[in-house]
Amino acid sequence: MLECLTAEEAGSLPLYAVSPAGLEALLGALSPLQSGFLHASGFKAKAEELRLLPGGEGIAGAVLGLGSETNSPFAFGVCPFGLPEGTVWRLDDMVEAKAATLGWCLGAYRFRRFKLEKGRAAARLVAPPGTESMAAQAAAIWRGRDLVNRPANDLGPAELAAAVGELAAQYGASFEVIEGAALAEGFPAVQAVGQGAINARAPRVAVLRWGFERADAPLVALCGKGVCFDTGGLDLKPSGAMLRMKKDMGGAAAMIATAEMLMAAGLPIRLLLLVGAVENAVSGAAFRPLDVIRTRKGLTVEIGNTDAEGRLVLADLLCFAAEQQPAIVIDGATLTGAARVALGPDLPALFCNDDTTADTFLRSAAATRDEMWRLPLQNNYISWLDSSVADINNVATKPMAGAITAALFLHRFVPEGTKWVHLDLYAWNDQSRPGRPEGGEVQAARALSHAVSALFEGESHAE
């Protein structure tokens, strides 16, 4: 159980959550002292508005405003550090317990791995019955946030692969790491991206397999871009653009979190998780602009820009995943700045080669409040990736539609008839908000796990 939750109800205080429409009824149900205090303090039940309620011996409870979005978990994210340290809280019967538990846990997260002073502890919530799935999802997000927040000197390719191994051990999954000669032979594009750091921080592919004893179960393949630090390679990023490049493995973190959610839910599937763990470094061994590299599929790629390395990593992973005859392939990557220009930091771009599948994922995004937005695979743009010396270039000839052309590049490595979902995400909170503290973020994982459940277990069982 996460440290912000407890099973002990003794000494707990009530937390009431209310929308503006329900405020009058709540005021009537509280004691005159408490309702008078709320009225005098100007409480309007706005989202994230939090008030302590007075009682004969001090604090008798608290009231949280939900605003108009009563089913959002994020309002509850203000509670763990907005309520007094050391206090324990129980939800009023009228509160939506699953949303509250998820939001509470997301808001209680802090990254303190390197701090001598750990700071104040979060207030704790008595875990309501039936919310175990929300706590499990929050635990997966905590794990993913920790990975994104770890600096590159603490999380390189070896450590990222080891994190997949730790997850595999926790859930009884098989695990292997492909590196060295086997990597160069089977994943040549991954090898090319990571060869600049090969002597100090060699590239590798981490492979987790779960549920394979169910031979007839549908196979769900997850592929994560795990660039532990991205200098841009010889097409060096400016220093300002390099500052957050420890988060360039955020797609891998999202896929690791999604895998954990699926395994924790015990879905009747087979699960394959692939993480391409590399560092895009500058050295005499680094790949160069206008190099031509081979991919697992056999296609050759001209390197128009060494800073477009994530799609090269994913190309080999997608090819390997498709060879396993999956029911669906899902990849996640902090792939393009163009997606952020189009949609901003909070809205991952969704690309999909099947309209019905895309609709399922968008419905799941809305249901979980883990939003995304579909962008098109505009096929007439594929010619922008033409190369005169290789089968394809890794960047487009035109400075437009960068997220789309990156997705089109990846689409070349997905066989016809294979259902494929690609997420281009940001993996970072630029400032703290309730439930979303500043730093690494795991985007889309809750939506993806919900969608996979809807596809392979049924809508009625999806959390």
159-186: pLDDT as tens digits:
999 999 999 999 999 999 999 999 999 9
Amino acid (one-letter) located at 329? V
pTM, 2 dp: 0.97
Q: Are 441 and 343 in contact (CB under 8 A)?
A: no
**What letter represents residue 162's amino acid?**
A
State residue 459's pLDDT score: 42
Structure confidence at residue 86 as a pLDDT band (50, 70, 90)? very high
Asked whether the predicted pLDDT for residue 115 surpasses 90, the reply is yes
**CA-to-CA distance for 407 and 375, rounded, in angstroms?**
10
Instruction: Provide the pLDDT confidence category of residue 221 given band limits of 50, 70 and 90.
Output: very high
Structure-model confidence comparison of residues 308 and 71, the more confident one: 308
Q: Which two tokens stand for residue 189?
A: 């594009």
Of 85-99, 255-269, 412-426, the range with the lowest mean pLDDT is 85-99
What does the pLDDT read at residue 144? 98
- Cα(423)–Cα(332) distance, integer angstroms: 5
Reduced 3-state DSSP string for the chain: CCCCEECCCCCCEEEEEECHHHHHHHHHHCCHHHHHHHHHCCCCCCCCCEEEEEECCEEEEEEEECCCCCCCCHHHHHHHHHCCCCCEEEECCCCCHHHHHHHHHHHHCCCCCCCCCCCCCCCEEECCCCCHHHHHHHHHHHHHHHHHHCCCCCCCHHHHHHHHHHHHHHHCCEEEEECHHHHHHHCHHHHHHHHHHCCCCCCEEEEEEECCCCCCCCEEEEEEEEEEEECCCCCCCCHHHHCCHHHHHHHHHHHHHHHHHHHHHCCCCEEEEEEEEEEECCCCCCCCCCCEEECCCCCEEECCCCCCCHHHHHHHHHHHHHHCCCCEEEEEECCCHHHHHHHCCCCCEEEECCHHHHHHHHHHHHHHCCCCEECCCCHHHHHHHCCCCCCEECCCCCCCCHHHHHHHHHHCCCCCCCCEEEEECCCEECCCECCECCEECCCCHHHHHHHHHHHHCCHHHCC
Q: What is d(CA 307, CA 208) in angstroms, rounded to the nearest whole number?
A: 28
**What per-residue confidence (pLDDT) applies to 458?**
58
- Residue-wise pLDDT tens digits, 116-152: 998 999 999 999 999 999 999 999 999 999 999 999 9
List Cβ neighbours of 91 (8 Å cut-off, separation of 6 or more). 14, 15, 17, 97, 100, 125, 126, 128
Q: Indicate the CATH number for domain 135-461.
A: 3.40.630.10
94 pLDDT tier (thresholds 50, 70, 90)? confident
Q: What is the mean pLDDT of the chain?
A: 96
pLDDT in tens, 411-443: 999 999 999 999 999 999 999 999 999 999 999
113-119 CB contacts, 8 Å cutoff, 24+ apart: 113/146, 113/149, 113/150, 113/154
Domain edges within the chain = 5-130, 135-461
pLDDT of res. 172: 98
Model pLDDT, residue 462: 41
Q: What is the CATH number of domain 5-130?
A: 3.40.220.10
What average pLDDT score do residues 244-248 get? 98
Per-residue pLDDT, 352: 98
| pLDDT exceeds cutoff 70 at 463 | no
Annotated catalytic sites, by residue? 237, 311
Q: Is the pLDDT of residue 460 over 50?
A: no
Token pair listed for 312: 């090269």
Q: How large a percentage of the chain has pLDDT more than 90?
A: 95
pLDDT at 71: 81
Measured distance CA(81)–CA(64) in Å, rounded: 13
Phi/psi at 200 (5° precision) = -105, -40
